[in-house]
Structure 1
């Protein structure tokens, strides 16, 4: 589904250039659940941002279902991201002024879905993730685990082809973190393609494939 060919990404300041990704090769198949681990500064977050079209690459090719995303303009990349990529963040990134229902619905509004279809999809996801009874609550009225369930529902709402999760359990205690990991594994078993960045070896073991990053390279260590 996704192929990165010799992808490199560097960041330049006035005095120094930092190589974050160095000629990365990576293939992601539909239905994969991949965990990316490695020390701070190894390129994990940059890899996630490149896959999510949040950072442009300096060289190489990014293929997504046969389409070379490098060839798209920034505006077309943004449209592609909205239709095909879902994000789960460590800090949840929910909008405090919107209810649970409205937070989950927001990506569907951006996609231009009509109201009846949007509401059906949101109701379906809230029921599936066990948060239907919190529909009208605001994010600050929820526990951390409930907020992450809302964030996962929002990531799924547009039916993306891949979900990119950035330390999804980083702000949760161990029991809630385990609950979220079990949920991600269940979603993967139902067909979701997931790439997750994590510092937790325990949570990485929930994935079907492990990639260890070091100095901007990757090494597949487990299938």
Structure 2
């Protein structure tokens, strides 16, 4: 049966070649579309092997320990801040930090002497300013002391009134505490932000 089908197909192909050689325009495409598919070798499904319950229990135990270890690692780093790419120094710069580092410039002797003289002049100026300020305070306090002594000689009541502090010159008002005490066990929120960190698939 199979041999006779092959012979018919071979005859059709020969007839088509013969017709094309004679110059006749006859379409035999419908006949040529017959194809024989390859036969596939199938095999029966593999039988499931019976696994020892202890092996299954050991696998489940290892999987559970692995998950618990990951949970402990996450709890340990729960409050760890996320790295910011803009703040972190790139590794390329850290590798080339010796090439990028510059030492202090070498100054000439004239520049060093000029800076030393300028430092001394500035020190003398600030010392004179401090002495003048202290002397002015001493003059004001001695003048105040002499005025109070003269006032005490004139009238003791006026002297007592003069040495009393004037509360109207320095008003003091209290509106309450400006900061509340911290709440125990309160975890402040991180706030709203857009996570643009890079993610890599393991």
Length-normalised TM-score, structure 1:
0.14
Length-normalised TM-score, structure 2:
0.15
Structure with greater contact order relative to length (CA < 8 Å, sep ≥ 6): 1
Kindly indicate which of the two structures has a greater share of residues assigned to helix.
Answer: 2
Q: Quick check: which has more Rg, 1 or 2?
A: 2
